[in-house]
Amino acid sequence: MIKKVKLLKVVKTPPTSNQKYIAEFELLKEDGKKKIKKVGFGQKSARDYTLMNKKGNKHYLESKAERDKVKNAYRARHQKDLETRDFTRPGHLSWFLLWSKPTIGASLEAYKKKFKV
């Protein structure tokens, strides 16, 4: 059983990967042992809310209303990803880091605060 989870880092993946980012967690088990868990998330070629807010990006949408429409559609389709209640899974990471706030930095801060990692 996991006692505590700590987010160590979120980094961009190498060009050969099909995913955008890798999150690295440190899991502290009840027996005191630590385990590192690496989770890839975000399809590299797909748009996300952070990219739609970034001027100059090919996925940029000028209208905030249009960006929010796409974001809400994504979240409606992927609501089921949250059913696991495991915030270290790819679906959760995409939901909270790529489809939450306009920037990855703001999303990361909100994620850390929400899940106390």
Concatenated DSSP letters of 41-102? EEETTS--HHHHTSTTSTT--S-HHHHHHHHHHHHHHHGGGGGG--TTSHHHHIIIIISSSS
CA distance 117 to 110: 10
**pLDDT tens, 57-96?**
999 999 999 999 999 999 999 999 999 999 999 999 999 9
Query: What is the predicted pLDDT for the residue at 106?
Result: 97
- The average pLDDT across 14-27 equals 96
CA distance 18 to 24: 17
Length of the chain as a residue count: 117
Average pLDDT score, the chain: 96
CB of 88 within 8 A of CB of 23?
yes
Q: Which is nearest to 94 in space by CA: 23, 38, 30?
A: 23
- The average pLDDT across 37-50 equals 96
pTM of the model: 0.92
Q: How confident is the model at residue 3 (pLDDT cuts 50, 70, 90)?
A: confident
Whether the per-residue pLDDT at 36 is higher than 90: the answer is yes
